[in-house]
Structure 1
Amino acid sequence: MSSTLRTVCASAAIVTIAATACTSTKSTDSSGSGATGSAAGGTVKVGLVTKTDTNPYFVKLRDSAKAEAQKQNAELIALAGKFDGDNEGQVAAIENLVQQGVKGILITPSNSTGILGALKKAKDAGIVVIALDTETDPKDAVDATYATNNVTAGELQGKYVKATLGVTAPKIIMMDGTAGGTVDEMRHRGFLQGIGVAEGSPQIVGKANTNGDQNKAQAAMENLLQRSTDVNAVYTINEPAARGAYAAISAKNLQSKITMASIDGGCQGVQDVKDGKYLATVMQFPKKMAEQGVDAVVKFAKDGSKPSGFQDTGAQVISDKPVAGLDIKDTAWGLQNCWG
């Protein structure tokens, strides 16, 4: 997917640095100490590249990384794509961070294969590379991954919807994310496994890519419901997509007919569940991902040790309507622990 990128220059906020590094990407300095150069005393620089800087999930991940970097006396340089799927923006961000001399790059890849060349260059430059939230394909394109097991998260969503439907055969609309995204494919596949429906089954009455965006999800659901309202189950890639789908469903007065769940576990999403907009959400823990990622980069900078493999940061079903066979926490617990 191509895009017109906004050229920005991430310039030094520390007066002792003489040079600046420019790139064509959307930049967010969340370090509070400047976007380029090393702080006095050889402060470890940690790069973060998220899919966007507007999705609340990635805002939480970025803010958690910032807080942990400050705790570790490190400097965070946060960059992002303009939208979910902005592969070119993420490649430019990686190149920017390499030029700025970071010790490690934390990344939530929009397209897990499209950034492989840029990641290899970073690793060849001696930078430790860690995926957060989203695995790369192949997995060893990064040194380590700290993430939710997204197949499991999708499966939990599917199992919850199946248990709620009971003996009623599902008629499903799939509110997918971004074509080609690893998370998107894994959650989609997990949901179908959980609900017990094969890909391509006639029980899937409609599907659309939403890029995890509320407005796009609402428009997509409106279009699908114009074709048919014979649906009783909705899969959503994330909570913004669920909110958009709910807006379209409620406009048609179909709330009582349709069982919908989601994945994210943000505070707004948990409140949506409490308010009855959808029945359940699967909580992720981006704060844990960000903290562990920053800690790994700081440790690498200190002693050269690299993290490795996949580190599952957990998933928890949140609902006020428990079903048999699933470990479920209520929304009171969810509001106390959202995105912890």
Structure 2
Amino acid sequence: MTDTSRRGFLFAGSIAGAGLLAAACTSNTEEGGGTGGQNVSTGGDNDKPGKQVTIGFSAPAADHGWIAAIAKNAEAQAKQYSDVKLQAVQPTNDINQQISAVESLIAAKVNALVILPNDGEQLNQVARKAMDAGIPVVNLDRVFPDKLSYRTWIGGDNYGMGVAAGHYIGGRLKEKGVSNPVIVEIQGIATLPLTQERSKGFADALRTYGFRVTAQQDAKFTVESGNQVAGNLLQAHKKIDAIWNHDDDQGVGVLAAIKQAGRNEFFMVGGAGSANAMREIKAGGVLEATVTYSPTMASSAIKIARLIAQGKGMADLVEKQVPQSITLASETITRQNVDQYLPLGFES
């Protein structure tokens, strides 16, 4: 990855999650019975110091803006708590090295684990090993296929990302009166379930407008591949009406290829919500929108791991335990609302 894809990251991890799940976590002792036998949550403040806990953290190497922001968010959130020690292992893109790193955290008997696996299927067994050892695992983003391998999963809505992009593109093309449009889709890593979910959501949403994807190719989440793939697609299609690029990091390369080709007859939608993509949207040009997949989920994962390790529940829920899964919303960022989202962006 070149330096163009790894510029500095926004203030300590996008303001430590901006309280996605934060603002009001409450201890179980503050939940009470309501009238008529109904249970209610009366609020509280689980951010106050509690039992000291050590949270292990493992993620891929930070050679990608979104992944780097994940690590920054986790670190920044952990620093907010005097009762949390974050034990982060060396990030790596090597599956075996990540397995070994997680095993070292299990041997250290941490109180909870937050794991963003390089590949959920290949890390599934070691996550199950942690759970079997009594260490609750918060599975971040790329899901383990075995639900017994994690206590709670938190991540973005990949299908929802595709749906949001599809509706934006479908709606804009209908507004413009375009029939039989040429729609190009640039994926991330095609073999990942998250990519397949994004593509399915995109196709399903386009279908409601009577449209379909004309050409689809994966760019592996890198600037270089984004540039190469976009260049090839631009050469193959002399006229394009819309492009959906799954990932704003690889979008740096995609936009560079578009600029180099001197093409502007189409509009483009990005994915994830990087700060540089938002600045492009604000400036005007082919990039009209991006759909969110915020790395602030790492901040929330640390908060969740802390609550689980301390035996606490969540604020605005009546239930006494943290939920088994939490899916974040995918939101569409355009010139109309970009200023609201820019402070939460990460640098690609």
TM-score (norm 2): 0.73
Q: Does 1:75 align with 2:85?
A: yes
Which residue, out of 186, 191, 194, partners 1:183? 194
Cα deviations by residue, 1:16-49 (Å, 9 ceiling, x for unpaired): xxxxxxxxxxxxxx9xxxxxxxxxxx95221222
Equivalent position of 2:126 in the other structure: 118
Structure 1 residues 277 and 125: CA distance shift in structure 2, 3 A: farther
Secondary structure in 2 matching 1:235: strand
Partner of 2:248: 239
State the one-letter code of the partner of 1:315.
Answer: S
Q: What amino acid maps onto 1:152 in structure 2?
A: G
SS in 1 for 2:244: strand
- Is the CA contact (8 Å cut-off) linking 2:111 and 2:309 kept in structure 1? yes
* Structure 1: segments with no counterpart, 5+ residues: 1-29, 31-41, 321-328
Q: What is the CA–CA distance in structure 2 between the aligned matches of 1:180 and 1:308, rounded to whole Å?
A: 28
Partner of 2:237: 228
Structure 1 counterpart of 2:299? 291
- Pick the aligned partner of 1:156 from 137, 161, 164: 164
Q: Secondary structure of the residue that 1:161 maps to in structure 2?
A: helix
Bigger relative contact order, structure 1 or 2 (CA pairs below 8 A, ≥6 apart): 2
Cα distance, 1:135–1:163 mapped onto 2, change above 3 Å: same
1:132-158 deviations in Å (ceiling 9; x for gaps): 233332455321112222111211011
Paired-residue identity, %: 21
Aligned twin of 1:333: 340
Q: How do 1:1-340 residues align onto structure 2 when only pairs under 5 Å count?
A: 43-73=52-82, 74-79=84-89, 82-83=92-93, 86-166=94-174, 167-168=177-178, 169-196=180-207, 203-254=212-263, 256-275=264-283, 276-287=285-296, 289-303=297-311, 307-320=322-335, 330-338=337-345
2:204 and 2:102 map into 1 onto residues whose CA distance is: 35
Aligned partners of 1:112 and 1:182 also within 8 Å: no
For residue 224 of structure 1, report the CA deviation from its aligned partner: 2.8
Contact 1:281-1:317 at 8 Å conserved across structures: yes
Q: Distance in 2 between matches of 1:77 and 1:115?
A: 19
TM-superposed deviation, 1:277: 4.7
Extract unaligned runs of 5+ from structure 2: 1-12, 14-50, 314-320
Change in CA separation of 1:157 and 1:204 when aligned onto 2, cut-off 3 Å: closer
- In 1, the alpha carbon distance for the partners of 2:293 and 2:151 equals 22
SS in 2 for 1:286: coil
Distance 1:125 1:161 in 2: 48
Relative distance call for 1:316 and 1:220 in structure 2 (3 A) is: same
Tell me, yes or no, if the aligned pair for 2:246 and 2:271 is still in contact at 8 Å: yes
Q: How big is the shift at 1:80?
A: 6.1
Cα shift at 1:220: 1.5
- The superposition leaves residues 43-67 of structure 1 with CA deviations (integer Å, 9 ceiling, x where unpaired) of 5221222233122222222222112
| Offset at residue 197 of structure 1 (A) | 8.0
Q: CA deviation at 1:304?
A: 7.8
Tell me if the contact between 1:82 and 1:89 (Cα under 8 Å) persists in the aligned partners: yes
Q: What is the CA-CA distance between 1:182 and the residue it aligns to?
A: 2.4
Say if 1:111 and 1:180, in contact at 8 Å, map to a contact too: no
1:68 counterpart letter in structure 2: Q
| SS of residue matched to 1:106 | strand
SS in 2 for 1:311: strand
Partner amino acid for 1:307? V
Separation (CA, whole Å) in 1 of partners of 2:198 and 2:91? 22
Question: Offset of 1:159 from its aligned partner?
Answer: 0.8
Partners of 1:258 and 1:222 in 2: how far apart?
A: 15
